[in-house]
Structure 1
Amino acid sequence: MHDTTLLQLIEDDFAPAQQMLELLQTEAIALLGRDMPLLENLLARKQSLVILLEQQGQRRSQLLASLGLSQDREGVQQLASQSQLGERLMQQLDALSKLLADCQAINERNGRSIQLQQNSTANQIRILMGGESPSLYDARGSTSPLAKPRTLSQV
């Protein structure tokens, strides 16, 4: 009975996890194009999927805990070893784990892309504002005006 419930909980996660993977792939493209309206839309949809996946994960953990099993892969293996559905249970768990690992990898890549864009933007703003430019001296021996911060209207 509990094995069937756990299997159903795992299988119920496939659709939202697949949707998450697709959203993350779309996000990668939107990040390259700096499509802010699309990114905002994706963020809202991602947040709802994260909440759903967390709730499902909590249900699985609660089920395993109620059986006195650890709330990880080892606990599922213990349950699977005592079940006729054991092989299918582990196959589905492995498939879901791979899908979620793919989501995590794309999410990390998107995070690095965001950091790179933030650094690039900060560098561009610093250049426009005249900050951290080399100290240059003019013919009179005073510091060049290039080294002094400027407002954007003076750039």
Structure 2
Amino acid sequence: MHDTTLLQLIEDDFAPAQQLLDLLQAESTALHGRDMPLLEDILARKQSLVLLLDQQGRRRSELLAGLGLSPDREGAQQLASQSSLGELLMQQLDTLGKMLADCQAINERNGRAITLQQSTTANQIRILMGGEAPSLYDSRGSTSPLSKPRALSQA
């Protein structure tokens, strides 16, 4: 009975995990295109999927803990070893784990893209605002003194 419940909880996560994977891929495209309205929409949908997946994960953990098993893969393996559905249960758990690992990898890649864009934007703003003075060299190879840095718009 508990094995079928756990199997159902795992299978119930397939659709939201696939939706999250699709959203993360769409987010990657939107990040490169800097499509802010689409990114805001994706963020809202992504947050609801992450919450749903988290709740389902907690339900699986509680089910295993309620049986006196560890609330992780090891506990699922112990339950599977005592069940006629054991092989299917572990296959489905592996499938879900792969989907979530793919989600994590794409999310990390998207995070690096966001960090790069933030850095680039900050550098562009610093240049436009006339940030730190450039170090220029004169004909003798020493740095030339600049009286005061000017913004690009004033140059």
- Fold match, TM over 0.5? yes
Cα distance in 2 for residues equivalent to 1:8 and 1:80: 14
Quote the offset at 1:153 in angstroms.
6.1
Change in Cα spacing, 1:83 to 1:149, as seen in structure 2 (3 Å) is farther
Deviation of 1:132 (Å):
2.0
Aligned length: 151
Could you give the per-residue CA deviations for residues 6-27 of structure 1, whole angstroms, max 9, x where no partner exists? 0000000000000000000000
Letter in 2 for 1:132: E
State whether residues 137 and 143 of structure 1, in contact with CA within 8 Å, keep that contact through their aligned partners in structure 2: no
Match of 1:148 in 2: 149
Contact persistence 2:128–2:153 (CA under 8 A): no
Give, in whole Å, the separation in 1 of the partners of 2:135 and 2:105.
43
Matches within 5 A, 1:3-152: 3-135=3-135, 143-145=145-147, 147-148=148-149, 150=151
Distance 1:154 1:46 in 2: 44
Structure-1 separation of matches of 2:150 and 2:55: 51
| Corresponding letter in the other structure for 1:58 | R
Unaligned stretches of 5+ in structure 2? 139-143
Amino acid corresponding to residue 13 of structure 1 in structure 2: D
Runs of 5+ unmatched residues, structure 1: none
Residue type matched to 1:53 in 2? L
